[in-house]
Structure 1
Amino acid sequence: MEVSRNPKPSKIIGRLILIAVLVVVSCSREVVGRRGHNGWRSFDYSAISCRRYTASLTDFGGVGDGVTLNTDAFRTAVDFLSGFGPEGGSMLYVPPGKWLTGSFNLTSHFTLFLDQDAVILASQDENDYPVIEPLPSYGRGRDTEGGRFISLIFGTNLTDVIITGNNGTLDGQGKLWWDKFHNGTLNYTRPYLIEIMYSENIQISNITLLNSPSWNVHPVYSSDIIIEGITIIAPTRSPNTDGINPDSCTNTRIQDCYIVSGDDCIAVKSGWDEYGIAFGMPTKQLVIRRVTCISPTSAMIALGSEMSGGIEDVRAEDILAIDTESAVRIKTGVGRGGYVKDIYVRRVTMKTMKYVFWMTGNYGSHPDDKYDPNAFPVIENINYRDMVAENVTMAGRLEGISGDPFTGICISNVTIEMGQHAKRLPWNCTDISGVSSGVVPQPCGLLPDQGPEKVTSCDFPTETLPIENVEVQTCACRHKLRMV
């Protein structure tokens, strides 16, 4: 079996011996059957790419007892399987068990597949997470100055990488990290559960993420990303446990996800103050749909606060928010620069909210004192329509920046039922401009009602984005239940 184009003789021998001893089996697009024979099992899964070769973590010495550290097993497995990229790609199967590990990197043309009874447990030892440089668009870590602990699952400069399963689990065991954050004893920024950088053709699907030390899923400086069918759960008072944070990314689809978070369920970002302005990579062409969010202290979708590279063409629809502080929140401030424009939101249902509409121009967190006080953000063409909410404290809190108003705000066909403890004035608007139509309770004077004939305003784009047309395929694999 040819496994590389120009391999060294030693690598050929080593690889052939390992293939003979380990379980590296053929995968194809054809379904072999739900149950195999002679010790083999078949399973199918949905993916942007099918793989020709598969190995199990146990083939590389993995022990799923929840105690044995498997970092070397994961790293060795990925390193070995990376050689099959030119030959149809490879998949690492994580079988039932509890697999304790520190950080490990992924490779191109590769799938990490978690069995439904597989739990990857994140090590709580800082030494299992190498310290890496801060993101260039941030200039420093989010928790502390300087570097940051690498994420549990990390990848950079990759093509065609998939993290999926039949609802297997990543457990970040984050309490230790949350306590360090609250106690001020962190030396570096906390690790995320999944971070993929400078990459393209990414799929993260059909897994559960629990108790992340900080952000859960962070694609950054990447493109052509599908995140779907994932469940994210963290205590609602855990610090900065954002669900999904597309950051300076293009052509991203987030759909069919369930998120319970201590911070924003989805936070769209593109760099921080002067560092984000200099890096200059926006997030654009983002689709968010069929997401359920629970976050009593934060937003269903946040745009910013780190948005200095720009955010544009975001389309969110068919979303449910329950017991969440706000629906779509724009967070920015003087010194951010950048822009948030061409935002379209429709068909949102909200139950028990502090705010439905919230825009903030006084979000003052800065990486350092070198930001430009004349870097004013541009906020324009923000569209909301076809929304209902109940048990709301305040309908809208829209605060632009003096001398830099937020413009082109459009709110149409929205019904808000105020709660028992609602504010006396349901709307508070300063330094903004726009229009409204068919909104109850009636918005502030800066959003004048255009009358019932305009109830169809705030149009949602009709043309599709490229990522919407990407289809996953059904892949099938036979996997041996034990070593031979």
Structure 2
Amino acid sequence: MDVLLLLCALLVALPNVAVVESRKAPVLDYFEYCAMSCRAYSASLEEFGGVGDGTTLNTGAFQAAIDHLSQYASSGGSQLYVPPGRWLTGSFNLTSHFTLFLHKDAVILGSQDENDWPVIDPLPSYGRGRDTQGGRFSSLIFGTNLTDVIITGNNGTLDGQGDLWWQKFHKGELSYTRPYLIEIMYSDNVQISNLTLVNSPSWNVHPVYSSNVVVQGVTILAPVTSPNTDGINPDSCTNTRIEDCYIVSGDDCVAVKSGWDEYGIAYGMPTKQLVIRRLTCISPFSAVIALGSEMSGGIQDVRAEDIVAINSESGVRIKTAVGRGGYVKDIFVRRMTMNTMKWAFWMTGNYGSHADDKYDPNALPVIQNINYRDMVAENVTMAARLEGISGDPFTGICISNVTIQMAKKAKKVPWTCTDIDGISSDVTPAPCNLLPEQGEEKIGACTFPEESLPIEDIQVQTCTYSRNL
């Protein structure tokens, strides 16, 4: 961690504040924080009629504040401060050159009334909603066609109050696909950092069709039995960095996506140049890092390192199927520690849920150059389940310097492999015959790329907030 990042961490933990007392709650008059961009104009939600009592609906206050602050986009940008309190709201839209900052004692609560969530069109790369055939509810915090947008705080909270939505999902009562907590579409230069996200109705953080995205220092908490509460889902994005996050999830902690079947193929927008590092995940029924299953636009150049997996179904999982098309290639994972896992590695070519019956049965996915190295796992039921597609094998798999300690009640056969091709080096227990040992001279196999990606060059700076509107 460099000096500036350390300073930013200290600023989050111990913000430099001046407090102006009010009868409602203390209002911060000045503080410092770290962000990719600083702003010239500032305002507090209370100045626009916001009431943080947990029962007053604040959708209008949020939108009025953001609409007012949007006038400063071309003259230094603006920031909206959410003070201590419980701020009930429906979905609201962000603007460009804008920062939303949550005090550590601020909680943004998702409304329990469906009428407070506008219905928007399905994503074009999916062709339909994921929960239902039709549209989808807009996310709690939503933005589209934005430039330079930041959602941050000193660990303030977004609470989606998702139980109502989970019950509707299980009972088949949804008219539209459930909302996410944060969704940013068609945008560039996005920062989501230093927040706690709890009880999302569905996915938590969904950047889609966007570039230059940083998700950092985010804590995500969901009941492990809650449906589809994925942590962070970069979707058809270029240049994304996910780091220093703690995720407890009812689904994949990080799910890399790029569209569904014929719709994703036609849209043709891959996820590429993705960095994932220093992630801790608990997901008993799903994966720590999943690639797919909606990967029809392609996934390429994913670099994950220094990952801790605890009590999760699988460490790294590739999910695809006949009809998906697209590709997953140039995937590099190293320095992963796993404890209490069903599978360390899982690849499946028969993940067969489809958007509709119009998919092309001749659209076969390409899975190649998948590299795992320098890993330790304990209490594992099965080392790996690697299942390609007949006539369309997964190729270029390389696993090196991996030690897996099997559980007391582990499967008798630790590896199952079909329709795959690759090599291994210094792996315990010994892999299947389709991953032959290369010997000591090939111990450097599965090399992790050393050159940096452009997203790693994005720097933060020390910003200040002071009330000036």
Q: Which bracket does the TM-score occupy, shorter chain normalised? A: over 0.9
Secondary structure of the residue that 1:462 maps to in structure 2? coil
Q: Output the amino acid matched with 1:196.
A: I
1:168-183 alignment runs, 5 A limit: 168-183=156-171
In 2, Cα distance between the equivalents of 1:118 and 1:34? 16
Q: 1:326 aligns with which of 308, 314, 318?
A: 314
Name the counterpart of 1:185.
173
**TM-score (structure 2 length as normaliser):** 0.95
**Native 8 Å contact 1:245 1:269 kept in 2:** yes
Name the counterpart of 1:441.
429
Secondary structure of the residue that 1:325 maps to in structure 2? strand
Name the counterpart of 1:150.
138
**Native 8 Å contact 1:248 1:269 kept in 2:** yes
In 2, Cα distance between the equivalents of 1:207 and 1:117? 11
Cα distance, 1:454 vs. partner?
A: 1.5
Cα distance, 1:248 vs. partner?
A: 0.1
Q: 2:303 aligns with which of 294, 315, 320?
A: 315
Q: 1:154 to 1:362 in 2, by over 3 A?
A: same
Name the counterpart of 1:44.
32
**Native 8 Å contact 1:348 1:386 kept in 2:** yes
Matched pairs, number: 451
Name the counterpart of 2:452.
464
Q: 1:37 to 1:332 in 2, by over 3 A?
A: closer
Cα distance, 1:479 vs. partner?
A: 3.9
In 1, Cα distance between the equivalents of 2:365 and 2:444? 29
**Alignment pair present for 1:35 and 2:1:** no
Deviations along 1:372-417, one digit per CA (max 9) or x if unpaired, are 0000000000000000000000001000000000000000000000
Name the counterpart of 1:164.
152
Q: 1:99 to 1:37 in 2, by over 3 A?
A: closer
Q: 1:415 to 1:215 in 2, by over 3 A?
A: same
Cα distance, 1:420 vs. partner?
A: 1.0
Q: 1:262 aligns with which of 250, 257, 260?
A: 250
In 2, Cα distance between the equivalents of 1:111 and 1:42? 15
**Alignment pair present for 1:107 and 2:95:** yes
Deviations along 1:107-157, one digit per CA (max 9) or x if unpaired, are 000000000000000001100011110000000000000100111110000
In 2, Cα distance between the equivalents of 1:454 and 1:222? 39
Q: 1:37 to 1:322 in 2, by over 3 A?
A: closer
Cα distance, 1:453 vs. partner?
A: 2.1
1:123-272 alignment runs, 5 A limit: 123-272=111-260
**Native 8 Å contact 1:94 1:112 kept in 2:** yes
Name the counterpart of 2:366.
378
Name the counterpart of 1:425.
413
Structure 1 residue runs of 4+, over 6 Å off?
Answer: 36-40
In 1, Cα distance between the equivalents of 2:241 and 2:360? 33
In 2, Cα distance between the equivalents of 1:37 and 1:329? 51
Cα distance, 1:46 vs. partner?
A: 0.8
In 1, Cα distance between the equivalents of 2:19 and 2:246? 33
> Rg: which structure is higher?
1
Q: Output the amino acid matched with 1:35.
A: A
Q: Output the amino acid matched with 1:304.
A: G
Q: Output the amino acid matched with 2:79.
A: M
Secondary structure of the residue that 1:87 maps to in structure 2? coil
In 1, Cα distance between the equivalents of 2:203 and 2:35? 24
Cα distance, 1:33 vs. partner?
A: 5.7
Secondary structure of the residue that 1:442 maps to in structure 2? coil
Q: Output the amino acid matched with 1:389.
A: A
Secondary structure of the residue that 1:170 maps to in structure 2? strand
In 2, Cα distance between the equivalents of 1:195 and 1:80? 22
Cα distance, 1:477 vs. partner?
A: 1.9
Q: Output the amino acid matched with 1:454.
A: K
Unaligned runs of 5+ in 1: 1-31
Q: 1:210 to 1:373 in 2, by over 3 A?
A: same
Unaligned runs of 5+ in 2: 1-14, 23-27
Name the counterpart of 1:25.
none
Name the counterpart of 1:116.
104
**Native 8 Å contact 1:380 1:409 kept in 2:** yes
Cα distance, 1:221 vs. partner?
A: 0.2
Secondary structure of the residue that 1:42 maps to in structure 2? strand
Q: 1:299 aligns with which of 240, 265, 287?
A: 287
Q: 1:369 aligns with which of 357, 367, 376?
A: 357
**Alignment pair present for 1:278 and 2:277:** no
**Native 8 Å contact 1:165 1:205 kept in 2:** yes
**Native 8 Å contact 1:268 1:283 kept in 2:** yes
Q: Output the amino acid matched with 1:41.
A: D
Secondary structure of the residue that 1:179 maps to in structure 2? helix
**Native 8 Å contact 1:36 1:478 kept in 2:** no
1:394-433 alignment runs, 5 A limit: 394-433=382-421
Q: 1:350 to 1:465 in 2, by over 3 A?
A: same
Secondary structure of the residue that 1:76 maps to in structure 2? helix
Cα distance, 1:421 vs. partner?
A: 1.2
In 1, Cα distance between the equivalents of 2:305 and 2:373? 10
Name the counterpart of 2:52.
64
**TM-score (structure 1 length as normaliser):** 0.92
In 2, Cα distance between the equivalents of 1:36 and 1:77? 22
Secondary structure of the residue that 1:82 maps to in structure 2? helix
Cα distance, 1:42 vs. partner?
A: 2.3
Cα distance, 1:38 vs. partner?
A: 10
Secondary structure of the residue that 2:18 maps to in structure 1? coil
Name the counterpart of 1:389.
377
**Native 8 Å contact 1:167 1:208 kept in 2:** yes
Deviations along 1:264-290, one digit per CA (max 9) or x if unpaired, are 000000000000000000000000000
Identity %: 76
**Native 8 Å contact 1:178 1:213 kept in 2:** yes
